[in-house]
Structure 1
Amino acid sequence: MNTIYINARFLTQTVTGVQRYAIELIKEIDKLIDCGEVDGTNYSFCLLSPANVVTQLELKHIRHRSVGKLKGHAWEQLELPFYSKGGLLINLCNTGPAFKRNQVVTIHDASVFSYPNAFSFAFRSWYQFLTVRLGKISKRVITVSNFSKGELIQHCKIAAQKVSVTHLGIDHIHERQAAHGTLEKYGIESPYVLAVSTMNPYKNFKLIFEILPEVQAQNLNVVIVGSQNSKVFSSHIQNESEAVQWVGYVSDEELKALYENAAGFIFPSLYEGFGLPPLEAMALGCPVIVSSRGSIPEVCGEAGLYFDPHHPQEAASRLVEIASNPDLVQQLSTKGKEHSSFFSWNKCAKDTINIIMNAV
């Protein structure tokens, strides 16, 4: 039997886009084994994680072992190679052991190269080294958009034939029940525009503050979901306004309620490897106003209203359109639901399994 190990360090981390990808992909692979589309008699899958797990997955066929005494990067570099020897190692969250060749790695973007000043010196230096190294020694590299594939080839000199693209899925947002009383819990007044992201400088949240007069002129508030991480990011936004409400990190059920009740969703990012939040908003019928940079046009297609993130007035005019044109809102809502339905974790898992089997 072929043993395939999965680097499950992501189970020790707060769930953002990268961890969401790993969690949903693992659950879907488990389903593929259950229905016989992946041969569970010939392939054995095993999650390996440090002991400090914060997310538990209910899986039928994929085992989970907490191994080693270390945690974080030290565990990944020093202990994980030992526990995964004798099998192929799958890394889903940008990192992996720098000196193991029998592995496959998902690298979501090349932001440490394209926007180096957005990260602390230590973080940037380590990830630049590790991304190039993993691209060189891994059997296969997976990324999440054609945009990211081009970025990795350009910055890390990875051979094009070594890189495969698998788009993320959206099914998870439909599996949750929206939490009742979410707006009351956070004291949110409708109508509001929602923004969801980590507070990385290249996420361009300063644009929202630059267009606040126009937002307020439409009697809209702004609700921002996301946590700041000053250990990673070299700077972060420090703006206060009565029209802007920061709610920090919320549960999946609360996030669904915020999407469903929003008048619109804004995503002003200067750079994205994929960009899951606007797709989540679309899936729930929330009209999206999105930046025209990075992978965003590839992901959102013709179902979003675009603006140049370097021109705040363009974003403001898009918001005015949303606030003043109910027919446009309905049109975007319908288009968004249709477009998002093409993104499934089942397809992502099948494409990923094919890559893994070729690597085995």
Structure 2
Amino acid sequence: MSIIGIDASRNRSGGAKVHLIGILNEIRPENYGFEKIHVWSYPELLDLLPERDWLIKHSPTALKKSIFSQLFWQFFIFPKELKKNKCDIVLNTDGGTVCRYKPSVTMSRDMLSYEKGEIDRYKYGKSWLRLLLLKYIQNSSFKYSNGVIFLTNYAANVIQKSCGRLRNIRIIPHGVSEIFANQKILSVWPSDPMKEELNCLYVSNTAPYKHQWKVIEAIYRLRKKGYKIVLTLAGAEGKAQNLVERAILEFSAEEFVIQLGHIKTIDLPCLISKSNIFIFASSCENMPNTLIEAMSVGLPIACSNRGPMPEVLGECGLYFDPEVVDTIERSIETIILDKSIRLKISNNVKEKATRYSWKRCADETMNYLKDILNGVNKNEK
């Protein structure tokens, strides 16, 4: 039986943490020919992982220090740790790894580095330089790895235009927690949205590619038409918070925009279920996790037409250009006015979301690791 090593040392984003927790909660390594799994990460993430006899957690002190200490550890020390613990294969859960160990499978999570129009939003600042460097590091790690996991076909196609055609890839989308599918919709559709309040929800941090300010303007226009719409923005403050505040001032939106800040995952299903329409206006994603969560609850969705969103949502939503307010306004108004479209979306979207389970994600990931390892062992004979 073989041993897996997992590098989760830089899993800082919500999606990266939820992914690791999701697959480790679902797998039984012996079913795939593995004996143990070793995970290297920082204490806060390790505390969230399940306790299993086959799961060994490592928390190097370097991971509590600066990014330079983390990179030094990843490049010089981590490969020795893998050998010491007799790991037969390593899963790098972040494409920005500088670890050089074979055999290895590396996951792709970042898209900002590869979308020219998106990276230009950060032009000439520290974030812009960081994204350019990250693109170079990711391309190098993808080409070095024995296999690469992409979350969507869209991401695989875009990134391979930059790094070149990779020899072995697998598309394995994230899953979604069952707490979303189990959540009953608590909102009631207003009989007259001109007189009764209608609630729209957008869950995301305020990054430059999330376009909350465009959504605020669209809601403002709809209110000018007489719709009694309220917009709730949930998510941590980011680099574009000033654009949100500016839009609130410009459109006197204090009375119809509610900002909740960061919401814990456990509280999200209830928040989504109390809304009438879910809006997703991001122009850059590798895997739109909050979109899948809303799909799983079963809300009618108005969604960005950029990136992998059409691949993920399919025909179960109405699309708009996230940088053109007219299209956002039109999509939301169509959902409000056309009951047949609204019900069709709600009925179909929940079924489509069942494809995104952590059990499927865990099973496909473990089988891919097994396939890569078997292929390497076969070539060595």
TM-score, length-scaled by structure 1: 0.85
- 1:29-48 matches, within 5 Å, as 29=27, 32-33=28-29, 37-39=31-33, 42-48=34-40
CA distance in 2, matches of 1:282, 1:237: 25
- Distance change >3 Å, CA 82–CA 154, structure 1 → 2: same
What SS does the corresponding residue of 2:62 show, helix, strand or coil?
coil
The residue aligned with 2:191 is none
- Higher mean displacement: 238-247 or 194-203: 238-247
Q: Describe the shift of the 1:234–1:89 C-alpha distance in structure 2 as closer, same or farther (beyond 3 A).
A: farther
Give 1:308 shift. 2.3
Q: Aligned residue for 2:4?
A: 4
- The equivalent of 1:108 in structure 2 is 109
Aligned to 1:157: 164
Structure 2 Cα separation of the partners of residues 290 and 273 of structure 1: 15
Measure, in 2, the Cα distance between the counterparts of 1:350 and 1:5. Answer: 17
In 2, distance between residues paired with 1:284 and 1:194?
A: 13
CA shift digits 1:70-126 (9 cap, x unpaired): 126433541433322342221223332343343211102432121223451343133
Match runs of 1:231-270 below 5 Å? 237-239=244-246, 240=248, 241-242=253-254, 243-270=256-283
One-letter amino acid matched to 2:21: I
> 2: distance between equivalents of 1:54 and 1:223?
32
The unaligned stretches of length 5 or more in structure 2 are 187-195, 374-381
* In 1: Cα distance, 2:181 partner to 2:9 partner: 24
Identity of aligned residues (%): 21
| 1:96 match | 97
Helix, strand or coil at the partner of 1:211: helix
Instruction: Rate the CA distance shift 1:317–1:236 in 2: closer, same or farther, 3 A.
Output: closer
Where does residue 225 of structure 1 map in the other structure?
234
Distance across 2 between alignment mates of 1:43 and 1:130:
31
Answering whether residue 161 of structure 2 is matched by residue 167 of structure 1, we say no
Give, as a single letter, the amino acid of the residue that structure 1 aligns with 2:237: Q
Gap change, CA 1:61 and 1:328, over 3 Å in 2: farther
SS of 1:306's equivalent in the other structure is: strand
Question: Equivalents in 2 of 1:253, 1:68: separation in Å?
Answer: 29
Q: Distance in 1 between matches of 2:137 and 2:326?
A: 39
Alignment of 1:75-86 (within 5 A): 75-78=70-73, 79-85=77-83, 86=86
Whichever residue aligns with residue 25 of structure 1, its letter is I
**For residue 57 of structure 1, what is the aligned residue in structure 2?**
49
How far off is 1:287 after superposition?
Answer: 0.7
SS in 2 for 1:111: coil
Aligned to 1:23: 21
What residue ranges of structure 1 are gaps of 5+ in the alignment? 181-188
Which residue type is aligned with residue 58 of structure 2? Answer: S
**Which structure is larger by alpha-carbon Rg, 1 or 2?**
2
Distance change >3 Å, CA 253–CA 52, structure 1 → 2: closer
Deviations 1:171-203 (A, max 9, x none): 44347779x9xxxxxxxx953211112222122
Which aligned pairs between 1:124-143 and structure 2 lie closer than 5 A? 124-143=131-150
Residue 341 of structure 2: SS of its match in structure 1? helix
Kindly provide the amino acid, as one letter, of the partner of residue 203 in structure 1.
K
Q: CA separation of 1:255/1:51 partners in 2, compared to 1, >3 Å: closer, same or farther?
A: closer
Distance change >3 Å, CA 16–CA 218, structure 1 → 2 = farther
Contact 2:197 2:228 (C-alpha < 8 Å) held by counterparts:
no
Aligned to 1:184: none
Displacement after TM superposition at 1:257 (Å): 0.9
* Corresponding residue to 2:360 among 338, 347, 353: 347
Instruction: Give the count of matched residue pairs.
Output: 340
Give the Cα separation in 1 of the matches to 2:242 and 2:143: 31
Out of 298, 313, 335, the residue aligned to residue 348 of structure 2 is 335
Identify if the C-alpha distance between structure 1 residues 25 and 215 changes in structure 2 by more than 3 Å, giving closer, same or farther.
farther
Aligned partner letter, 2:104: Q
Match of 1:68 among 60, 63, 88: 60
1:147 paired with 2:154, answer yes
The CA RMSD over aligned residues, in Å, is 2.7
Determine the C-alpha separation between the residues in 2 that align with 1:347 and 1:195. 27
In structure 2, the CA distance between the partners of 1:50 and 1:176, relative to structure 1 (3 Å rule), is farther
